[in-house]
Amino acid sequence: MSEPSYVPNPSASAHKPAITLWIDFGPEVGEKKSSARLTHYYTSESLIGRQVAAVVNFPPRQIGKVRSEVLVLGFPDAGGEVVLIMPDRKFRTVGVYSKPAQLRCSEA
């Protein structure tokens, strides 16, 4: 499996600034889309090449004009801004629960 990469894309339709993420989880799960309010700490460019943790088996949810298919995981800081959960080292798939992802993104 190739190293993960992220390509951010702004979500212009979001009420609050968000990044739309296209995450490639490989052939088993495929490419999934997610919208996340990450713009306080992240830009589209800063996410390229990063790995993230995500839940892939939740039902899709409409967030503005974006149909979010996975939940990208993070923790709120003291001000409520999201800090993504990311491994400190790159890794390849080692089992069902760990899937490195390739991502395209956009910023709103």
Print pLDDT tens along the chain (108 aa).
Answer: 333 444 455 555 556 788 888 887 777 788 889 999 999 999 888 887 788 888 888 899 998 888 999 999 999 999 999 999 988 877 765 444 444 555 666 665
Rounded Cα gap, residues 20 and 38, in angstroms: 10
Instruction: Tell me the CATH number at 39.
Output: 2.40.50.140
> In terms of residue numbers, what domain contains 16?
9-107
Residue 48 lies in a domain: yes
- Token pair, residue 40, equals 């306080």
SS3 content of the chain, % helix, strand, coil (to 5): 5, 35, 60
Residue 2 lies in a domain: no
The answer to whether 47 touches 105, Cβ cutoff 8 Å, is yes
Residue 64 lies in a domain: yes
Residue 14 lies in a domain: yes
Please report, to the nearest 10 degrees, the dihedral formed by the alpha carbons of residues 18, 9, 5, 81 taken in order.
Answer: -10
Residue 3 lies in a domain: no
Domains of the chain: total: 1
pTM greater than the 0.75 cutoff = no
Residue 22 lies in a domain: yes
